[in-house]
Amino acid sequence: MTNNTRISFEFFPPKTPEGREKLYKTRETLQEFQPAFFSVTYGAGGTTRETTADIVTNLRRDGISIAPHLSFGGDNEETVQALLNRYQEAGVDRIVALRGDMPSGMGAVAQLVYANELVAFIRRHSGDHFHLEVAAYPEIHPEAESYDADIGYLKGKFDAGANSALTQYFYNPDAYFYFLDQCEKAGIDAPIYPGIMPITNFTNLARFSKNCGAEIPRWLRQRMESFSNPEDIRKLGLEVVTDLCETLLEGGAPGLHFYTMNQVEPTAEILRSLSLD
């Protein structure tokens, strides 16, 4: 890993005051790795509108670079504009712009707003103030019409004004490298940062991966499912994800975006295991 490797860390907004305190401590500890930015997820449908904005503006007061995730969900333009204004006034200069998924139980919104439309909306409203990150899917978004169509829509997000992309997590580096080649062929030249999910609780990871279309290789699943001791899962997870990060960086990935799940150790252990130049 070189000094040019861009590292970023993703959090979700905790529901309790204790969770929030823990998050602030996690943030302080992860600062050791000099991340380019932290990001905080957003419950499309407005479920975390206040908590996400609150955490983002609080962390911003500490002077750190912090990027809220944002999507329309069922919100109108005024609500999204108000959030953009609030972020800009707080000194936030980066946003992760998404279509989002409605949380289960919230019912169907008439029509979710595609991320390219949100990117265009932000550019119209806030000009070039924000660096805009968008989502990319090396194993292809589960609802995509086809492989090529998904890449075409990713290109649409860049054409609308996005600056870079963060990927869904994956455990097969070939999927990422092939995806980069196809993006390049489609005329995308912006950086695409791989999303890294440390492995801690394998049962939860397997369930979540099924929903979001991230493939867990058969050999890894078989091995993980043969363990009964959580410590064995942790050790193999650390080894596999550290190897994945090394392969990605050696193959030219411009950086790493960690899904921290608000925990220090799984992410910090991986970063400490990577050979630092």
| Cα separations in angstroms, 13 against 50, 57, 198, 203, 270 | 10, 12, 19, 22, 23
CB atoms within 10 A of CB 197: 24
From the CB of 124, what's the least distance to ligand FAD, in Å?
Answer: 16
User: Which segment (26-34, 75-83, 147-155, 201-209) binds ligand FAD by CB under 6 A?
Assistant: 147-155
Q: Please tell me whether residue 81 adopts helix, strand or coil conformation.
A: helix
Binding mask 169-208 for ligand FAD (x = CB under 6 A): --------------------------x-------------
* Residues with Cβ within 8 Å of residue 196, at least 6 apart in sequence: 169, 241, 244, 245, 256, 257, 258, 259, 270
What tokens does 171 get? 């455990």
| CB 245, CB 7: distance < 8 Å | no
Kindly state whether residue 44 participates in binding ligand FAD, applying the rule CB under 6 A: yes
42 binds ligand FAD, rule: CB under 6 A:
yes
Using the rule CB under 6 A, which residue among 27, 150, 171, 266 binds ligand FAD? 150
Catalytic choice (10, 28, 133, 239): 10
Name 126's Cβ contacts closer than 8 Å, sequence gap at least 6. Answer: 84, 88
Q: How many residues bind ligand FAD (CB under 6 A)?
A: 24
**In contact, 164 and 190? CB cutoff 8 Å:** yes
10 catalytic per annotation: yes
Among 31, 73, 36, 33, residue whose Cα is nearest residue 52: 73
Q: Applying CB under 6 A, does 243 fall inside the site for ligand FAD?
A: no
Q: Which stretch binds ligand FAD (CB under 6 A): 56-64, 93-101, 124-132, 239-247?
A: 93-101
Q: Should residue 30 be labelled a site residue for ligand FAD when binding is judged by CB under 6 A?
A: no
Min CB(180)–ligand FAD separation in Å: 15
Contact residues for ligand FAD (CB under 6 A)?
41-42, 44, 69, 96, 98-101, 114-116, 135, 141, 143-144, 149-150, 153, 156, 166-168, 195
Q: Which residues are catalytic?
A: 10
